[in-house]
Structure 1
Amino acid sequence: MDLEAVRTFAAIAEAGQFQKAAVDLSITQQAVSKRVAALERDLGVRLFTRTPRGAELTIDGQAFLPHARELLRAAERAVASVRAGRRPLRVDVLNSRGAVSGLMRDFHRAHPDIDLDVLMLHDIETAVAAVRSGTIDATFRAVAMPGRPLPEDIASVRVLDEPLHLLTGPAHALAGARTLTVADLAGHRIWMPGIVPGTEWGAYYADLVAEFGLTIEATGPNFGSDALLDTIADTPALATFMSERTRLVWPAAHGLRRIPVTDPTPVYPHSLLWHRDNPHPALPALRAHLATAAPTPGTPGTWTPAWTLPR
């Protein structure tokens, strides 16, 4: 089977038009048509129906699409298997200010000879798909969400449990506390704009609310961390959760308080995910570094959701 014809088929399915696919692939529309015709002859079925709006998949085309994408992913992994030693290690850290970004900075200081590409993807499905396709070598995630087990070809290891702190303004009722129990937070409004339903962090906070009867509000637009800090500083009725290793800077006049939470301590579980067949020579070095760089997860007196994978 011609791999370029399969790639052309997938591009048309994505674009919905032969002409748009031709532009995306930097070939002529005639070449696109020839490739599809040859693929249809090989398969003995029609893959597309022409419509005034472009091209629609036939029933056979719909059945073939996921297999075509898997063929392309397999081809990408095959290429990566012989090029891995000549390209940077590509790792998704979710965001630049969080704990795992710090872990990767520590790794870079410990192994300055290893080239790194650090990316920030949004949701776990995008990240896992990128790991499976070979687009990235590893990702840090909280796994596995309820009803969404990891694919068999994805390996994981829990590398860090990060405690949550409560962040308040100076006029908040809890601002004077040196530590707080989870029970102390009941009845207080915890504001966390930007929690996205369907993400692993969304599932984490939903379980935290259900377990301890907390009130977490995700209302309003997410204007980023600076706007969040401004609002918390100026609004006595609101507080927010902040992970222990999150690196943020705010004006001294804000008077923000960062208070550890105990009894139990809610911790966010960070795991490293990678493809079992990934051949990149730097990946074992990263895993070995993480095994010694952070405290062992699962410390007594902490809480994580029941769906969190063990170490």
Structure 2
Amino acid sequence: MDTEALRSFVRAAELGQFRQAADELGVTQQAVSKRIAALERELGVRLFARTARGVELTLDGQAFLPHARSIAAGVERAITAVRPGSRALRIDVLGRRSAQAVVLHDYWRAHPETDLDVVTLRVDDPRIAVAAVEAGEIDASFRTVTDPAVLPPDVHIMHAFDSPLELLVGPGHPLASARRLTPAQLRKHRIWVPGIAPRSEWAEFYDQLATDFDLRIDAAGPHFGDEVLLDTLAESADVATLVGARDRYIWPADHDLRRIPVVDPTLVYPLSLVLPGTNPHPGLSGITAHLESLPRAPEPAWLPPWATTPRHGERGTPTARGTRPRAR
């Protein structure tokens, strides 16, 4: 059934004239007459009777009106739900307690008028998130595409912010009393990062980190959730993990876990934002401006090679600094 014909019928019924309905809908009176005639043929009934003052509903038209009005309103709601600027800004984050979610929450607190919908796609392959941005299913995604060949020409990637890493340990760990640590001090210690997914950006990150600093990154076993990870750290004298400085973790007071900054160089997980190159949601400009205002990680800083070279479609790359110079 033609939804434009339904809209024409509803407005003509409410206004009592085809001409006024046509003016409101931005079409000719002839177009409205044709739409309603086609609708009557499809239904097999007369919907209007002509009068000296315009038109009035027949009994069949009166019976049909509430249903037609409901359908037309539903179509309008459906269109509004996907039209940029008339719906919430949908941004994908890796987790509700991740640094990305924290940064978005900080922005929303400063701009509470923003209609923001924070979603989690729950996919490991960043190419799936890129496809969702390209299709308009989401407006942006905090993902990093390390292979420039998979980035479509109408999708862009910008540097979002730096996430310095911290070592998280329990009270019985040999490094628990340290106030700061260098990467060299982490050697030979078991750094447990369960659930590193193949083809994910963090898999590439930890592979390069282990190679450059001769670290023992252990991804053994499935990831049963943050609670199990934190329980294990609290009870262990030899297991540690790495977390982002902005990542939120909550544990019981008797766990007595310690977050220790890693410096000289600062180990940086660079976070990126994937966004469309055309017809972006109007709310994205405020988000990107906020991201560009965030402070960079303390120098000297280490970043993986894919974060220090230009990538196709990338914008907002930070200036060169640290132990690995960044190309503009």
In structure 1, runs of 5+ residues without a counterpart are 1-78
Give the structure-1-normalised TM-score.
0.70
By how many angstroms is 1:243 displaced?
A: 0.9
Q: How does 1:148-167 map to 2 (within 5 A)?
A: 148-167=149-168
What secondary structure does 1:278 align onto? coil
By how many angstroms is 1:190 displaced?
A: 0.6
Q: Which residue of 2 aligns with 1:200?
A: 201
What secondary structure does 2:104 align onto? helix
Q: 2: distance between equivalents of 1:184 and 1:191?
A: 16
User: Is residue 313 of structure 2 the alignment partner of residue 291 of structure 1?
Assistant: no
Q: Which has the higher contact order (CA 8 A, sep 6+)?
A: 1
Q: 1: distance between equivalents of 2:204 and 2:169?
A: 23
Corresponding letter in the other structure for 2:127: E
Corresponding letter in the other structure for 1:244: A
Q: Which residue of 1 aligns with 2:115?
A: 115
| CA-to-aligned-CA distance 1:245-272 (integer Å, 9 cap, x gap) | 1111111111211111111111111111
Q: 2: distance between equivalents of 1:116 and 1:190?
A: 36
User: Is residue 304 of structure 2 the alignment partner of residue 305 of structure 1?
Assistant: yes
Change (3 A) 1:85 1:158: same
Q: 1: distance between equivalents of 2:291 and 2:171?
A: 37
By how many angstroms is 1:149 displaced?
A: 4.7
Corresponding letter in the other structure for 2:101: S
Q: 1: distance between equivalents of 2:264 and 2:92?
A: 32
Corresponding letter in the other structure for 1:136: I
Q: Which residue of 1 aligns with 2:61?
A: none
Q: 2: distance between equivalents of 1:279 and 1:147?
A: 21
What secondary structure does 1:247 align onto? coil
By how many angstroms is 1:181 displaced?
A: 0.5
Counterpart contact for 1:156–1:272, Cα < 8 Å? yes
Counterpart contact for 2:193–2:241, Cα < 8 Å? yes
Q: 1: distance between equivalents of 2:88 and 2:141?
A: 14
Q: Which residue of 1 aligns with 2:187?
A: 186
Q: 2: distance between equivalents of 1:237 and 1:148?
A: 41
By how many angstroms is 1:151 displaced?
A: 2.2
Corresponding letter in the other structure for 2:213: F
Q: Which residue of 2 aligns with 1:84?
A: 84
Corresponding letter in the other structure for 1:302: A
Q: 2: distance between equivalents of 1:291 and 1:196?
A: 29
Corresponding letter in the other structure for 1:101: A
Q: 2: distance between equivalents of 1:296 and 1:176?
A: 27
What secondary structure does 1:160 align onto? strand
Candidates 139, 142, 158, aligned match of 1:140: 142
In structure 2, runs of 5+ residues without a counterpart are 1-78, 311-316, 319-328
Corresponding letter in the other structure for 2:90: R
| CA-to-aligned-CA distance 1:31-63 (integer Å, 9 cap, x gap) | xxxxxxxxxxxxxxxxxxxxxxxxxxxxxxxxx
Give the structure-2-normalised TM-score.
0.66
Counterpart contact for 2:127–2:150, Cα < 8 Å? no
Candidates 122, 129, 132, aligned match of 1:130: 132
Corresponding letter in the other structure for 2:97: R
Change (3 A) 1:216 1:115: same
Q: 2: distance between equivalents of 1:154 and 1:100?
A: 20
Q: 2: distance between equivalents of 1:291 and 1:276?
A: 18
Q: Which residue of 2 aligns with 1:261?
A: 262
Counterpart contact for 1:159–1:296, Cα < 8 Å? no
Q: 2: distance between equivalents of 1:99 and 1:82?
A: 27
Q: 2: distance between equivalents of 1:286 and 1:250?
A: 30
Q: 1: distance between equivalents of 2:279 and 2:246?
A: 29
Q: Which residue of 2 aligns with 1:231?
A: 232
Q: Which residue of 1 aligns with 2:69?
A: none
Corresponding letter in the other structure for 1:194: G
Superposition misfits of 4+ residues, deviation over 6 angstroms = 79-82
Larger Rg: 2
By how many angstroms is 1:178 displaced?
A: 0.9
Corresponding letter in the other structure for 2:145: A
